Amino acid sequence: MSEYTVVGQTVARVDAVEKVTGAAQYGADVHPAGMLYGKIVRSKQAHANILSIDTSEAEKLPGVRAIITQDDVPSGRRVFATDKVLYLGEPLAAVAATDPDIAEEAAELIKIEYEVLPVVQDVMEAIKPSAPLLQGDAAKDGPNRREISAQIRKLSRDKENDHSDEISKLEAELENYPDEVYYNISAESHSEAGDVEKGFAESDVVVEDTYVIPRVHQTYMEPHVSVASADSSGKVTVWASTQGPFAIRSGIAGTLGIPLTQINVIGTTMGGGFGGRFGVIITHVPAVLLSQKTGRPVRVQMTREEEFTDGRPAPGCVIKLKTGATNDGRILAREALAFWDSGSVSGASIGSTIRVRGVYKIPNLKVDAYGVHTNKSGTAAYRAPGAPQAIFAGECQLDEIAERIGMDPVKFRLMNMREEGDEVPAGGSEPKVGYKETLEAVADAAGWWDREADENQGWGVAVGDWTNGCGPGGVYVSVHEDGSVRIFHGSMDITGTDTAISQIIAEILTVPYESVTIRRGDTDSAPYSTGSGGSVVTFTMGNTAKLAAEDAHRRILELASERLNMNVDNLELRDGEVHVISADPPKSISLGELAAYSLSTTGGPIVGKGSFARQSSTPALAAQIAKVEVDPDTGRTRVLKLVASQDVGFAINPMAVEGQIEGGTVQGYAWAMMEEMQYGEEGNINPGFVDYRVPTSADLPTVESIIVEVPAPNGPYGAKGVGEPPITPTLATMANAVKDAIGVRINELPIKPEKVIDALKNNGHGA
Amino acid sequence: MAKHPVTLTVNGDEHDLLIEPRKTLLAVLRDTIGLTGTKEGCSTGDCGACTVIVDGNAVTSCMVLGVTASGKEITTIEGLASDGELHPVQQAFINTGGYQCGFCTPGFIMASKALLDEDPNRSEEEFRHALGGNICRCTGYTKILEAILQAAAEIRETT
């Protein structure tokens, strides 16, 4: 039995009624009087020089009110392409018109003259010298050349001694690695612990393989949208579908040179985000520019097709991975070389390559990662950014090793998992995390230990780790004369976080959950809040909410002490009333009475304030088991069972936590089995739900979720962020299950039926 | 573009409108009548977010031209609750946590209602296939299925 009355209980969400009645207001539901409709004009080429942009025909179309290009961007920051486009769908201009169809027509009337350039879409082609150099980046050295070059630089710096012989020897050695000069590199990241060469030498088994993970789209159901209204005083109001209104405010300020105080961003109910809804340029900046130019409110809304061509999806990557272990099952070394497809923008989660380490004691680890420019849109976060890709490689290879040494995959993982107090490479020691508890829980629930499989059936297991982020936030709590409690803050609700915040405050103020209401402010009114991504909200805002409620709690006792003429030490808040401890007969005063009394006191109304920014987080583990059946004739894989456990620290609202586990697991399933953004010379070739299939209810069985609670020391009531971990192991879970079913490993996702058929044929299984 | 006179009955209210022939029923509901509970997720009839009920059948309103709906009875998410009481499907979505971001929810609720009106005795597997025209990206469908099964049980009991 829990010691708590509100947290830890399943409650209906605070936004329940508005969400099931159509009353919730999303971005595209905002319609100020006189609103115009914006449309972004996009490149029809994947790589080309722009020779001219002719807007004259479009300007003549009745109903067109403004056309903007990069010339209208005061800071010069790239909003629209000018001389060159790098991907299909790149913005070139935007139109505002009195009707959405007129805006679309006008966009089509803008004539763009292109000089088409060679295109490169595959990362392994893009790094070759034969590839077109997309953004003029200098060539970078691969892992071996880097080491040799570093030695040369070191020797050259020593001016006191002559190293010319050694240097020419090293320079000759460089020639041994001609393929290690990489082109189109947008970013790189390297790390090393221990000595991998020594580790491999001491290993009995060494497995090496290349894993290919596709670019996938977050596919939030609400396409990006913003409505902007610039008034004649220069004040700009933006209704934005975003995970981070404060980041949008500063982004607009920086791009358009508008002071922060002149911008109010109103976050509208968010139709999913998953990390992909943080961008500033995407619709918000064009909407503001068009509104400034026309003096009228303007809505810019993306279509689903635009989401695919110019969204910021999750990066695909190629990971070459090598692992060494002993015959008795100890992992000794792991080495990764990864190429992440960052599209037209730098970066792309390359730092997450380190997650090939997993939650295991690996004494020797070396990771080299490169971001590679291609002719695609840039990328952004998607639920535990970079982790599903890296963990897919790591967890598939673990299964291969387990098979070689003849060890059960669950036992192999259990014996290598890090334990409390183990040294952490980044410094410090491993905290208490339910790694083993979570894996054991899923193994027990799925029936792993006495699993059975008919012909063409198989079982797969994998685990994935993630640590929630943390960021600044502020919360106010007011207690009213009727005893009700009102919360005010500035953080976007990300599927249930407002509910968790309300539960925490109800718990501390000992009032029923139903008497608490919560209101999110806009950036003009609310205290600063971090963006709702990185599983931060329950951790950060939960802690902030606790502080605010505790502050209110102090004021309540202070008021009761005055009112009842009692020392605070003799008072306790319980069931929404302040009681005099051990008074006989019992004596108490209700919160409502205290709130009414407070209005005529020197100290004033009951307002609790919480402000919080940073505390160290604790890793979380997700462990999953799948049972599948593969049809060898059609190659189709059917999921018979999918069980997901997660160490959530503490489940503040168990039903919402289950929902996160189920949803994240299904997104991981889809990445493994179905989803892939496909590109050709012309750019993205599957920009819609017919060709880019996401799962429907018909594709899957019920996902069984299991909550494991090993409290996080700094989490509110021990809670950890729960949104991201569940997607991290599923790619490998599915691949491992398919391998078990057909006896052939498929290292290139998604595992579509045709790949299964090919794999079977190539291994002499099929016709 | 020339506009055409149409009469739509939406949630019991009659609307006499002049609309361009290129406007979809979804656009008419959202932009002309101002009922924004019905959502636009793909505009190609693939995601089901714009599902409404026309003369008893669930349809994706982005695939229907407004002019062709003239004279028909249309129910949207706003018309489902009556006398301040949520419809059993709406209540079941709340009880089971069958929604998260909520963007697909109006479409799912309307599709579910049409299915339940037709036959509340389907099995879970049948409901899984029957709801295959609606996409949800948040829930993984587990709790949506719980919701429709709970609503089906409630409807079977009360009818």
Give me the CATH number covering residue B12: 3.10.20.30
Taking only the tens place, the pLDDT of each residue in B88-107 is 999 999 999 999 999 999 99
> Quick one: pLDDT at residue A261?
95
Same domain, B124 and B61: no
The answer to whether A426 touches A434, Cβ cutoff 8 Å, is: no
Is B150 an interface residue toward A (CB < 8 Å)? Answer: no
Is B88 an interface residue toward A (CB < 8 Å)? Answer: no
The distance of A48 to chain B (nearest Cα, Å) reads 29
Average pLDDT, chain B: 97
Confidence of residue A348 (pLDDT cuts 50, 70, 90): confident
The distance of A281 to chain B (nearest Cα, Å) reads 21
Which DSSP state fits A727?
A: G
Same domain, B92 and B72: no
Taking only the tens place, the pLDDT of each residue in A600-634 is 999 999 999 999 999 999 999 999 999 999 999 99
Say what the alpha-carbon torsion angle A546, A550, A552, A555 is, to the nearest 10 degrees: -170
Give me the CATH number covering residue B110: 1.10.150.120
Same domain, B75 and B35: yes
Same domain, B73 and B93: no
Q: Is the pTM of this model over 0.95?
A: yes
- Residues with Cβ within 8 Å of residue A116, at least 6 apart in sequence: A45, A47, A48
The answer to whether A84 touches A373, Cβ cutoff 8 Å, is: no
Q: Residue A623's CB: how many other CB atoms inside 10 A?
A: 34
Is A347's pLDDT higher than 80?
no
Same domain, B15 and B75: yes
* CA A618/CA A468 separation, integer angstroms: 7
Say what the alpha-carbon torsion angle A290, A291, A295, A296 is, to the nearest 10 degrees: 110
Q: Which residues of A touch B86 (CB under 8 A)?
A: 17, 20-21
Is A702's pLDDT higher than 80?
yes
Q: Is the peptide bond before A585 cis (omega within 30 degrees of 0)?
A: yes
Q: What is the mean pLDDT of residues A309-332?
A: 97
Same domain, B64 and B121: no
H-helix or E-strand spanning residue A562: helix A537-564
Q: Which of B23, B40, B41 is nearest to B32 (CA)?
A: B23
Distance of CA A364 to the CA centre of its chain: 28
Confidence of residue A535 (pLDDT cuts 50, 70, 90): confident
Q: Which residues of B touch A28 (CB under 8 A)?
A: 30, 36, 39-40
Secondary structure (3-state) at B60: strand
- Residues B97, A220: C-beta atoms closer than 8 Å: no
Confidence of residue A673 (pLDDT cuts 50, 70, 90): very high
Same domain, B110 and B152: yes
- Residues A22, B76: C-beta atoms closer than 8 Å: yes
User: Which residue among B79, B113, B142 closes a domain?
Assistant: B79
User: Which among A16, A658, A698 has CB closest to B129?
Assistant: A698
Nearest CA in chain A to B143: A659
> Quick one: pLDDT at residue A766?
47
> Quick one: pLDDT at residue A765?
58
Is A735's pLDDT higher than 50?
yes
Average pLDDT, chain A: 96
Please tell me the total count of domains within chain B.
2
Same domain, B92 and B32: no
Nearest CA in chain A to B129: A698
The answer to whether B146 touches B139, Cβ cutoff 8 Å, is: no
User: Which residue among B21, B51, B79 closes a domain?
Assistant: B79
User: Which among B23, B46, B99 has CB closest to A19?
Assistant: B99
Residue pairs spanning A and B at CB distance below 8 A:
175
Packed helices A753-762 and A730-742: angle between N→C axes, nearest 10 degrees: 40
Three-class HEC string of A151-197: HHHHHHHCCCCCCHHHHHHHHHHHCCCHHHEECCEEEEEEEEECCHH
Q: Which residues of A touch B131 (CB under 8 A)?
A: 696-698
Taking only the tens place, the pLDDT of each residue in A71-121 is 999 889 999 999 999 999 999 999 999 999 999 999 999 999 999 999 999
User: Which residue among B41, B59, B79 closes a domain?
Assistant: B79
* CA B86/CA B92 separation, integer angstroms: 10
Range in A240-254, A418-432, B134-148 with the lowest mean pLDDT: A418-432
SS3 content of chain A, % helix, strand, coil (to 5): 35, 25, 40
Q: Of chain B residues 108-147, which have a CB less than 8 A from chain A? A: 109, 127-129, 131-145
- Residues B102, A223: C-beta atoms closer than 8 Å: no
Same domain, B74 and B93: no
The answer to whether B154 touches B92, Cβ cutoff 8 Å, is: yes
Percentage, residues of chain A above pLDDT 90: 93
Is A725's pLDDT higher than 80?
yes
- Residues A697, B35: C-beta atoms closer than 8 Å: no
Is B95 an interface residue toward A (CB < 8 Å)? Answer: yes
The distance of B148 to chain A (nearest Cα, Å) reads 12
Percentage, residues of chain A above pLDDT 70: 99
Range in A274-283, A412-421, A431-440, A695-704 with the lowest mean pLDDT: A274-283
Distance of CA A579 to the CA centre of its chain: 46
Same domain, B94 and B28: no
H-helix or E-strand spanning residue A390: helix A387-405
Q: Of chain B residues 7-46, which have a CB less than 8 A from chain A? A: 20, 22-23, 27, 30-31, 34-44, 46
- Residues B37, A15: C-beta atoms closer than 8 Å: no
The answer to whether A229 touches A212, Cβ cutoff 8 Å, is: no
Q: Which residues of A are known to be catalytic?
A: 724
Name the token pair of A572: 């306790």
Percentage, residues of chain B above pLDDT 70: 100
Taking only the tens place, the pLDDT of each residue in A574-601 is 999 999 998 889 999 999 999 999 999 9
Could you tell me the residue range of the domain that residue B138 belongs to?
Answer: 88-158
Distance of CA A481 to the CA centre of its chain: 42
Is A767's pLDDT higher than 50?
no
Which burial class, exposed, middle or buried, applies to B119 when counting CB atoms under 10 A from its CB (0-12, 13-18, 19+)?
exposed
> Quick one: pLDDT at residue B55?
97
Distance of CA A424 to the CA centre of its chain: 24
Confidence of residue A64 (pLDDT cuts 50, 70, 90): very high
Residue holding tokens 């919560």?
A: A518
Same domain, B68 and B113: no
- Residues B44, A690: C-beta atoms closer than 8 Å: yes
Same domain, B99 and B57: no
Q: What is the mean pLDDT of residues A556-582?
A: 96
> Quick one: pLDDT at residue A583?
86
Is A550's pLDDT higher than 70?
yes
> Quick one: pLDDT at residue B41?
98
Helices of type H across A636-729: 654-673
The distance of B71 to chain A (nearest Cα, Å) reads 24
Distances (CA, A) of A500 to A15, A267, A349, A532: 12, 19, 29, 14
